Amino acid sequence: MGQVAVSGTVPLFLVPSGPVNASLFAASSGVYVGTSTAVTTANGMELPASTPVPIATFPASTGAQLYATVGTAATTVAVFYSLSTGG
């Protein structure tokens, strides 16, 4: 399990290529996730507070870096995640 302090826009973690099961959640609301440093509160997927969001990929998946934003550097929210790889 990992933890990232999100303030402004930051990289969360790399989802590796191949089959992956990931789960992530935020300590409080207002965190948005995307696959680009251009993620915003308008175009990102909002993480619910304290409710894990599952992400599953397939063997042919190429992987992706996930980024998170809270929209402002004045706010910091913890995001927790876990990754499981393999078949």
Position 38, amino acid: A
For residue range 30-83, list pLDDT tens digits in order.
999 999 999 999 999 999 998 999 999 999 999 999 999 999 888 999 999 999
What pLDDT is recorded for position 86?
77
Ramachandran angles phi, psi of 39, nearest 5°: -60, 140
CATH number at 75 reads 2.60.120
Please state, in angstroms and rounded to a whole number, the distance separating the CA atoms of residues 45 and 73: 19
**Number of structural domains, the chain?**
1
Looking at residues 10-38, what average pLDDT do you find? 94
Query: Three-state SS string across the chain, please?
Result: CEEEEECCEEEEEEECCCCEEEEEEECCCCEEEECCCCCCCCCCEEECECCCEEEECCCCCCCEEEEEECCCCCCCEEEEEEEEECC
Q: Which residue has the higher pLDDT, 86 or 49?
A: 49
Q: What is the pLDDT of residue 4?
A: 95
Mean pLDDT for 15-20 is: 93
Residue 38's pLDDT is what?
Answer: 95
Q: What is the pLDDT of residue 50?
A: 87
Quick one: pLDDT at residue 73? 87
Question: Which range marks the domain in which residue 36 is found?
Answer: 2-85
